[in-house]
Amino acid sequence: MKFIGYDVGSSSIKASIVDEQGKVIAHAKYPETEMSIDSPKIGWAEQDPEQWWQNLRILTQKVIAESHIDKNEIKGIGISYQMHGLVLVGKDKQVLRPSIIWCDSRAVETGDEAFNDLGEKVCMDKLLNSPGNFTASKLKWVKENEPEVYEKIWKFMLPGDFIALKLSGESTTTVTGLSEGVLWDFQKHQPSKTLLNHWGIDESLVSKVVDNFTEQCVVSKQGAEESGLPEGIPILYRAGDQPNNALSLNVMNPGEIAATGGTSGVVYGVTDNIHSKESVRVNNFAHINHTQEQPRIGKMLCLNGAGIQYSWLRHQVDQKRHSYQELNDLASQIPIGSDGIIVLPFGNGAERVLKNKDIGSSTYNLNFNRHKSVHLFRAGLEGIAYSFVYGTEILMNDGLQKGIIKAGGDNLFRSSLFAQSIASLLDTEIRIFDTTGSTGAARAAAIGAGAFDTLNDILTEKDITTTYIPDFKNMDQYKESYGKWKTKLEQVIISY
């Protein structure tokens, strides 16, 4: 048996095929260049869901060809997807408008108003979060600002739900998905009627709720014809990219921590505590193994401005003359602290960790007679690393236990400068594993099919590619540099 996993990101779609032992047979992505994000207005971010589907169709053909297997060997599908996006579909199952994706800031005020109207206690006890700038708030924004679109809605979906719809023709969602949209009532274990009723949103717009590890739906005749996958095979797993990244790294129990540094940056720790005192700055979602009887909450720090900052530097400052690895090597030649330059990387919309303020990205202490582009590369990486440390401190203040941080090897954690800075300032070990989101989704599909019980059976110490430990020799320099960065950030926050 073979299983295929997809990771539907905002930059590209990735796919992996694994066998029943979890071994990767093939891995590919499409497109090779980053997908564009449209921004019709400042703070807005949209993508065309049909483009995700078209790219996934092309990618499916590509990864099957590279695997050299008969497609009929594929017996199940796993889907990981960019979180918090809003996809609106009419009765004809056609998309009604571009998806309002995760880094769009237009619904901040909408969510804040609901938080004030419902009250902190109701939001914290039932939703574990303020409504914030999540999927539910984006749906309410459409209701208020695009009523002609809202009236045509058959179902609202998360990006992964949309891909499942295109494959199967069925509209389904998950508890983890609804919780990431801040539409799950953790007290009653059902879609949140409190928030739906407050905003006058009909519950019929919510898709059928299915478990994460189950036969959620099957590939239809049309889905098979369009995708190239066998008709009738089941979708066995679905989760947002960060819960899925945690699963890929076998982060399933309290005290375990996963991190990723893609376009956005995330620290994701598992806890069994369904209470929070920092819930207006961090997120609390149902993890993929959450049940009402045995809570497993993913306490998540999300930084919109992370890899996108470094990508901007490479494209706009370096003009793509160097690869990311070459930029990392150049940046490593500059001492800790970047000779005084401070970069705040928050230029990708409102930041929840900053209480939904959109302070933009900014650079300080640049000296035209002294500094070169390589100083900016180091300062950019340090700024992103320091934002990880800043956010993780908030998570730990909210009860997250400090433990070993696990990360995949396909993002910013490839940079030793970046990872070493975080390991040193948090005084913890970082382990880099040879796994990806699409591989995790494929392996999760294998779990759903009963091929093996848990990821413990396949993800072991042999999958560790690199380990970073605190650099005690240079600890004072790290602390001094971070202290200056943090002081500047807090000065800027106060001014907004």
Strand partners, 257: 269, 405
Q: How far apart are CA 260 and CA 1, in angstroms?
A: 30
Task: Count other C-beta atoms under 10 Å from residue 299's C-beta.
Answer: 26
CA distances in angstroms from 427 to 224, 404, 471, 478, 479, listed in the order given:
50, 10, 9, 11, 11
Q: From the CB of residue 450, how many other CB atoms can be counted at a distance below 10 Å?
A: 10
For residue 230, count CB atoms less than 10 angstroms from its CB and return exposed for 0-12, middle for 13-18, buried for 19 or more: middle
pLDDT tens digits, one per residue of 159-194 = 999 999 999 999 999 999 999 999 999 999 999 999
H or E element in which residue 197 lies? helix 193-199
Each residue's pLDDT tens digit, 377-403? 999 999 999 999 999 999 998 888 888
CB within 8 A of 369, min separation 6: which ones?
A: none
Gap between the terminal Cα atoms of the chain: 56
For 87-97, the pLDDT digits (tens) are 999 999 999 99
Q: What is the DSSP letter of 86?
A: B
Q: Write down the pLDDT at residue 35.
A: 95
Reading the chain (496 residues) residue by residue, the pLDDT tens digits are: 999 999 999 999 999 999 998 999 999 999 998 899 999 999 899 999 999 999 999 999 999 999 999 999 999 999 999 999 999 999 999 999 999 999 899 999 999 999 999 999 999 999 999 998 999 999 999 999 999 999 999 999 999 999 999 999 999 999 999 999 999 999 999 999 999 999 999 999 999 999 999 999 999 999 999 999 999 999 999 999 999 999 999 999 888 999 999 888 999 999 998 888 887 788 899 999 999 999 999 999 989 999 999 999 999 999 999 999 999 999 999 999 999 999 999 999 889 899 889 999 999 999 999 999 999 999 999 999 999 999 999 999 888 888 899 998 767 998 999 999 999 999 999 999 988 899 999 999 999 999 887 777 777 777 899 999 999 999 999 999 999 999 999 999 999 8
Taking CB atoms within 8 Å and a gap of at least 24, the contacts of 422-425 are 422/385, 422/388, 422/389, 422/392, 422/468, 423/468, 423/469, 423/470, 423/471, 424/470, 424/471, 424/472, 424/474, 424/475, 424/478, 425/385, 425/386, 425/389, 425/478, 425/479, 425/482
Element (H, E) at 343: strand 342-345
In this prediction the pTM is 0.86
